[in-house]
A and B are shown apart, each in its own frame.
Chain A
Amino acid sequence: MALLDIKDLTLRFGGLCAVNQLSLEIEEGSIRSLIGPNGAGKTCVFNCLTGFYKPSSGDMVFMGTSIMKKKPHLITHMGMARTFQNLRLFKQMTVMENVMSGMHCRTNAAFAGAVLRTQSQKAEEKLIREIAEECLDFVGILDKKNYMAKNLPYGDQRRVEWARALATQPKLLLLDEPAAGLNKEEKARLINLMRRIRDERKVTIFLIEHDMGLVMKVSEKIFVIDYGVKIAEGTSKEVRDNPRVVEAYLGKEETEDAV
């Protein structure tokens, strides 16, 4: 059984059909990409998966459970984590505090623990810090843990977001255009990081990305959507040679790169 199974997913905004009868499967331990031109509905798919948008019809089954009616925090609790296309860090907080947020759903101290500082609360705080530091170390910015998130350069802010998502200890990681705004060197490091996340942490990755070079390097299988409809799926070679994809996507990509 696939880790994630999307069946006939449809999302409408009034007359606009942002996602149209989309079906796809993500197998455990894989890296899969979702590509498509601007406005194709890629981010909408992620927003449906993570509970931010209510799909109009269809079904999404994650680890054998339907997540159609689940709230975002419960979906995260089940083991799905995401990053945002436009960075959504807690800007006025430190890098460390940002990453500690990921551990919220794996811990449970509340009022009494906080006020009485019980043994279990202290142990939990220690664990939160340890995991957060481990995640920061994994993405390579442990030395910046005491910086205010807003004071970091853009590339490092991206890494804080990955560390934060990893700290929720996910089974499936959704990355929305993680390479946007990164330079060549940072992109190479990202490819390496994604492979390590999959191999060392056993996290399945579902990726939205515009950088075709990066997508083809890292993912074994690619889904292409246009106007919310899936127009192709397959290996990078199959997708590249598909005339519908060339028409819908690759043709447009050149004009985009020119901008």
Chain B
Amino acid sequence: MAEKKQKKFTNPFGTVVESLYDLFDKKAPRYLLMTIMTAFLIYLPLSSSRFTQEIMTNLFFYVVVCLGLNIIVGFAGLLHLGYAAFFAVGAYTTGILSSVYGVNFWLTLPFSIIAAVIAGLAIGAPTLRLRGDYLAIVTLGFGEIIRLTVRNLDITGGAMGLIGIQRPVLFGIVLNQITHFYYLFFILAVIAIIVSYRLHDSRLGRAWEYIREDEDAASAMGINVVQIRLYAFIIGSAFGALAGSLYAAKMTAISPESFMFIHSVMILLAVVLGGMGKIPGVILGAIIVTLIPELSRDIGQFRLIIFAVLLLILMLYRPQGIWPERQGISTKL
């Protein structure tokens, strides 16, 4: 069965990605490529329209949330269907502290992370002891509960949402241009990528992989499965909340509609599409999910249909996602 599936990916798209993967697997070309890309992305706003910068900022935002969800879904193998709720937690924490209490934006960030950790613990601690399917249901429910709660509370501005969230100030500059946010989200995306790689190549990252491969064998090796999963859940949630806080600062206004189920689905789609657990794959997934709707307005309307078809093709031909699995002798160690 498994062998049959492996053989199927002789499609040209797969081959292109495979050679790309080789490129990423060796350190020198990877660093060279990264340097060129970073230089290009730093230069980009100097010679591009507001529109392009807007799209790119959106892309960086997606890279961050996708990498955050990837820690939960990809690294730890937990199905999470309500991730948008966690960036809602971040966005509303910053929103309320900033617009109602006038707290400096940067000071709201620790609170946003704390709120996400508490929410993550409240959801994760009881459910992660149970079988995997429960987490999917509970997170799905949590997503809706958060949306309905912020819709009905006064402090969150009800259905209208919150307005008047203060702009962040950095080195005396008020961040109110799209170019500012372009760089802010770019930095956040770079941090997210570095953190993801470092987590992946660590004791914690390996523990997630052991558990994903064989839960019983992992616990026989002395790994506390529940605790290690909870780590993933909380770290991923904190990622989402941080992105949510920055989103609130960029928009200066947030409403419950920014955090609907469909957003959770799109983020999950990007992670699955690119290849769960594989960082370049997840970035590729984020690129696909954010850029396809922008290609033309007409396509934008059929976005969901296109993604549904894409996902179907993928499930048939490459269930492991676009990015290839590690093969044969690894050069990693």
Contact = CB atoms under 8 A, between A and B. Distances in A.
Interface string A54-94: 00000000000000000111001100011010001111111
Contacts of A121: 202
Contact of A105 (B202, B221, B328, B332): B221
Contact of A76 (B207, B221, B231): B221
A106 B207 CA distance: 13
Interface in A99-124: 100-102, 104-107, 109-111, 113-115, 117, 121, 124
A173 to B, nearest CB: 12
Contacts of B222: 73, 76-77, 102, 104-106, 168
A96 B330 CA distance: 10
B203 A151 contact: no
Nearest to A51: B219
A107 B203 contact: yes
Contacts of B204: 109-111, 114
Given A101-B223, A148-B328, A164-B221, A114 B216 contact: no
Nearest to B213: A90
A109 B195 contact: no
Contacts, number: 115
Interface residues of A, number: 44
A90 B327 CA distance: 14
A50 B210 contact: no
B203 A145 contact: no
Interface string A125-169: 100100000000000000001111001000000000000100010
B54 interface: no
Interface of A: 50, 52, 71-73, 76-77, 81-82, 84, 88-94, 96-97, 100-102, 104-107, 109-111, 113-115, 117, 121, 124-125, 128, 145-148, 151, 164, 168
Interface of B: 195, 198-199, 202-207, 209-210, 213-214, 216-225, 231, 235, 325-333
